[in-house]
Structure 1
Amino acid sequence: MDTNIVEIINVTREVAWLPWAVQYFFLIGLSVGGVLLSLPGYAFANDEWRKLGRVGLLVALTCGLAAPVALLSDLHQPGRFWHFYAVFRPTSWMWWGSLIIPFYVTGLLVYAWTCFREELQEHGRVDSHLATLYRLAALGGGRDDRLIRYAGLVVLAGAVLVALYTGAEVAVVKARPLWHTPFLPVQFLTTALVGAAGLVLILNRFAADHDLAVEARANRLLAGFLGAVMAVGGLWLAFGLFGIDRTHTEALEGVANSEAWRVTAVWAVLATVAPFVIAVAKPVGTGLLTGLIAVHSAWMFRWTVFIGGQTVPKTGAGFYEYALPAGPDGLLGIIGTAGLWLFLLLVITAVLPTPARSAPRPVRAAHAADRTMAAAE
């Protein structure tokens, strides 16, 4: 009796999207979120939201300038970027991204200039060696709400396009059920808003005058964004558990037997529920804590989607192993991108000092400001 031996060989693949991609999607998401948080105070000229909008604009500007550097690094050989412009590929979301990102960053710079123009003009009146430079930067003008509104509409269009393309270019990958879902672009946007609100809370503490009214409002916004994250995540889970959509069911089945993924699920729930409860129960005095958790959860969501998603094999059993390297394609790259963002923040806040500092308003004043805003609405 003949015995036939069938040998099955499966190829272990290394991740194609490196931590640079995580950094890019994280930073560009925070930038989009920062733009959206800045619009009420600047584009819609609501003075109650002006201080929060200024911090949101710092988030948008610093993250928006750092993000393209991480994107170029993720090309493995940054000189390849010109291929996007040399080859016409309208069916590729990455090709559209190569057009959208310059449009967004340019619009962001113009919008930031129109918003900070009043401050530049004020600094130009101060007797200092840089007064002339400030006046030149302001182009002899101050606050112009109509110009800010027009620039805000342009950068809003760019932000919407960025949110669309960053979500779509991942969601179109049919080979990975975990990615191939219409919920992913919405999840990217909602978690980006969570991260942006969290960074506003942190910068309000360290790069602004620690205004308690801003902290309370940002915490309440954070709670709303976290609620949206829970709602979208619950819908995604329901689609998989109840077999409403086969792709979502396959995504759940692909990670069901993994202890690491179960731990990740527990972490995701805690990282969402904990800051939500804190922000609702005590919106004043907890901004640093909720802000740090929010920024962490926004980053870890992208890490889980990109790096974790690539460890789930398209074929075969088991999971691919990934160990974060210490070099430029790993830990050093993450630290370097964070350092670039911090450098940009220091330069921008040095060139554009924080407006006249005042002592933090007491809690009663912060609550009174919120009640006044609610009554006006």
Structure 2
Amino acid sequence: MDTSIVELINVTREVAWLPWAVQYFFLIGLSVGGLLLSLPGYAFARTFAHGGWRRLGRLALLVALTCGLAAPVALLSDLHQPGRFWHFYVVFRPSSWMWWGSVFIPFYVAGLLAYGWACFREELQEHGRVDSRLAALYRLAALGGGRDDRLIRATGLVVLTGAALVALYTGVEVAVVKARPLWHTPILPLQFLTTALAGAAGLVLVLNRFAAGNDRGVERLANRLLAGFLGAVMLFGGLWLALGLSGIERTHAEALESVATSEAWRVTALWAVLATVVPFAIAVAKPVGSGLLTGLIAVHGAWMFRWTVFIGGQTVPKTGAGFYEYALPAGPDGLLGIVGTAGLWLFLLLVITAFLPVPPDPASRLMSRPLRAMAAE
């Protein structure tokens, strides 16, 4: 009886999507979430006439602007050679979701800037009447006009379209990768959206604590919204798990099977449950006085979800047994890149809050004062 020996050789592959990609998906998600949270206070102000929506909307708009401007920088960095971005515009490739992203992202950012200007125009005009040093500059920035609800609604609808396209692109770009069952699941885009909304509400709560005088009305409203978003996160997470365990949807079953034998992934699953249930319970039981805690956990949860999906997902081999190991490097492709992106976001926040005038509403006079003082120092 002849015996044949078959030798199998597998190659350990480095991660292709670096932490820059995590930062991009995190920041663009917060931006889209912040935009959606700002719409009731500005574009749909007639329907949501309660004053708390306008104050919350202003903080949410700061989230949308700062994160929306920082996100494309992280995406360019993830190209490894940022000069490659122009290739998207000289090669027509509509079959690629990345190509569509090169169209959707500039459209969204341009619409976001126009919408932000329309929303802050009244404040610019008001400040132009009282600031003798920069009055002319503020009047020029306002283009001689004040609040224009029709302009706000029009630009709001435009940027809402851009936000929907960006949310679709960021979700589907990952979900179409059939080689990785953990990514190729129909529910993933919805999980990206709900965790982004939760993270945006969390960042609003953090900014409310440090940049808006700790407005109790905003804290209560934002915590209630956060609880709703976290409820949606739990719903889609439970649905994902149910589809995987039941085998009704084969893709989810394959995704669950790919990580079921890993102790590290079981710990990650436990963390995900706690990071969702704990802030949900706190936000429901104590919506006032807990904003900083629930906000920080929510922001952390939104970031770690993307880290787990992107970096963790790449440690699951396409072929072979076991899992690849990933160690976060200290250089630009690792920790330094994460810190640098966070620093860019903080810089944008300081610049905007330093030069954006204080709202005329007396209830929010304290808004931005701590950050304006930090920028002055």
Q: For residue 243 of structure 1, what is the aligned residue in structure 2?
A: 247
Q: For residue 32 of structure 1, what is the aligned residue in structure 2?
A: 32
Q: For residue 365 of structure 1, what is the aligned residue in structure 2?
A: none
Corresponding residue SS for 1:179: coil
Q: For residue 119 of structure 2, what is the aligned residue in structure 1?
A: 115
Asked whether the 8 Å contact 2:123–2:358 carries over to 1, the reply is no
Q: CA deviation at 1:126?
A: 1.1
Q: CA deviation at 1:246?
A: 1.1
AA aligned to 2:21 is: A
Asked whether the 8 Å contact 1:124–1:130 carries over to 2, the reply is yes
AA aligned to 2:14 is: E
Q: CA deviation at 1:116?
A: 0.1
Q: For residue 354 of structure 1, what is the aligned residue in structure 2?
A: 358
AA aligned to 1:218 is: A
Q: For residue 167 of structure 1, what is the aligned residue in structure 2?
A: 171
- Counterparts of 1:133 and 1:291, CA distance in 2: 36
The one of 75, 85, 88 aligned to 1:84? 88
5 Å-filtered alignment, 1:43-82, equals 43-45=43-45, 46-48=48-50, 49-82=53-86
Corresponding residue SS for 1:39: helix
Q: CA deviation at 1:7?
A: 1.9
> Residues 111 and 357 of structure 1: is their aligned pair in 2 closer, same or farther, counting only changes over 3 Å?
closer
Asked whether the 8 Å contact 1:202–1:291 carries over to 2, the reply is yes
Q: For residue 368 of structure 2, what is the aligned residue in structure 1?
A: none
Q: For residue 345 of structure 2, what is the aligned residue in structure 1?
A: 341
Q: For residue 296 of structure 1, what is the aligned residue in structure 2?
A: 300
AA aligned to 1:220 is: R
5 Å-filtered alignment, 1:312-327, equals 312-327=316-331
Q: Deviations over 1:82-126 (max 9, x none)?
A: 111111110111000000000000000000000000000011011
Q: CA deviation at 1:47?
A: 4.0
Q: Deviations over 1:288-312 (max 9, x none)?
A: 0000000000000000000000000
Corresponding residue SS for 1:320: coil
Instruction: Compute the TM-score of the two structures, normalised by the length of structure 2.
Output: 0.94
The one of 191, 200, 204 aligned to 2:204? 200
- Counterparts of 2:26 and 2:3, CA distance in 1: 55
Corresponding residue SS for 1:241: helix
Corresponding residue SS for 1:153: helix
Q: Deviations over 1:242-268 (max 9, x none)?
A: 011111111111111101000000000
Of stretches 81-90 and 265-274 in structure 1, the one that deviates more from structure 2 is: 81-90
Asked whether the 8 Å contact 2:181–2:255 carries over to 1, the reply is yes
Of stretches 5-14 and 89-98 in structure 1, the one that deviates more from structure 2 is: 5-14
Corresponding residue SS for 1:254: helix
Q: Deviations over 1:33-91 (max 9, x none)?
A: 00000000000123421000000000000000000000000000000001111111101
- Is it true that 1:9 corresponds to 2:9 in the alignment? yes
- Counterparts of 1:347 and 1:208, CA distance in 2: 16
Q: CA deviation at 1:5?
A: 3.1
Asked whether the 8 Å contact 2:29–2:193 carries over to 1, the reply is yes
The one of 130, 133, 137 aligned to 1:129? 133
The one of 331, 338, 360 aligned to 2:335? 331
AA aligned to 1:88 is: F
Q: CA deviation at 1:227?
A: 0.3
AA aligned to 1:11 is: V
Instruction: Compute the TM-score of the two structures, normalised by the length of structure 1.
Output: 0.94
Corresponding residue SS for 2:40: coil
- Counterparts of 1:175 and 1:68, CA distance in 2: 26
Asked whether the 8 Å contact 1:111–1:152 carries over to 2, the reply is yes
Asked whether the 8 Å contact 1:215–1:287 carries over to 2, the reply is yes
Asked whether the 8 Å contact 2:126–2:360 carries over to 1, the reply is no
AA aligned to 1:177 is: P
Q: For residue 372 of structure 1, what is the aligned residue in structure 2?
A: none
Q: CA deviation at 1:357?
A: 8.2
Corresponding residue SS for 1:213: helix
Asked whether the 8 Å contact 1:19–1:329 carries over to 2, the reply is yes
Q: For residue 280 of structure 1, what is the aligned residue in structure 2?
A: 284
- Counterparts of 1:157 and 1:194, CA distance in 2: 20
Q: Percent identical across equivalent pairs? A: 85
Unaligned runs of 5+ in 1: 361-377
> Residues 209 and 47 of structure 1: is their aligned pair in 2 closer, same or farther, counting only changes over 3 Å?
farther
Asked whether the 8 Å contact 1:114–1:148 carries over to 2, the reply is yes
- Counterparts of 1:86 and 1:144, CA distance in 2: 38
The one of 233, 236, 243 aligned to 1:232? 236
